Structure 1
Amino acid sequence: MSRGIAYRRAKMATIKQQRRHWWQHDMSPQQIGLAAATPKPCSCWMCGHARRHHGRTMQERRQLDSFEIQKDDGP
């Protein structure tokens, strides 16, 4: 069963209601919409994408190492 536009609008209204004080101050409707769509206020090393700041994850490094070993063992 697919959910319709009414469901998505209701969910967005709930999220906006919850995030009215997300960044510890009263916000304008535009800021509330921004907090609902993108909950992180910045892209610093604490809030941003971990791969950008810390490199590849351990799982990705293991996979690449495994691929390199298989590539070297080939015919």
Structure 2
Amino acid sequence: MKDLSRALRPHHAARLKLARRFYTGIDNRADPRRLGILLHTATLCSCWMCGNARPYLGPTIAERLHAVKLAEES
């Protein structure tokens, strides 16, 4: 069977560009550079609402429970 990964990359790029066309509230189709940035970087910024929550909120509940279990074993 033929490997379709070469055809899938442009397909997914076009699909994501279409889906993220109005991602910032404006039509990004007119600016191909901005649309390419949205293709590879979906988050608009790295603030506490858009970015990874771990630096702002600390470890998750599962990580805290794991740390407690490790402390009890020692």
TM-score category, normalised to shorter length: 0.7 to 0.9
Residue ranges of structure 2 left out of the alignment (5+ in a row): none
User: TM-score, normalised to structure 2's length?
Assistant: 0.85
Residue ranges of structure 1 left out of the alignment (5+ in a row): none
How much has 1:3 moved relative to structure 2?
A: 3.9
Identity, % of aligned positions: 34
CA RMSD of aligned residues (A): 1.5
| Aligned residue number for residue 10 of structure 1 | 11
Aligned residues, how many?
71
| Structure 1 residues 42-67: Cα deviation after superposition (integer angstroms, max 9, x where no partner) | 01111110101100000001001101
For 1:1-75, list aligned pairs within 5 A. Answer: 3-27=4-28, 28-71=31-74
Larger radius of gyration: 1
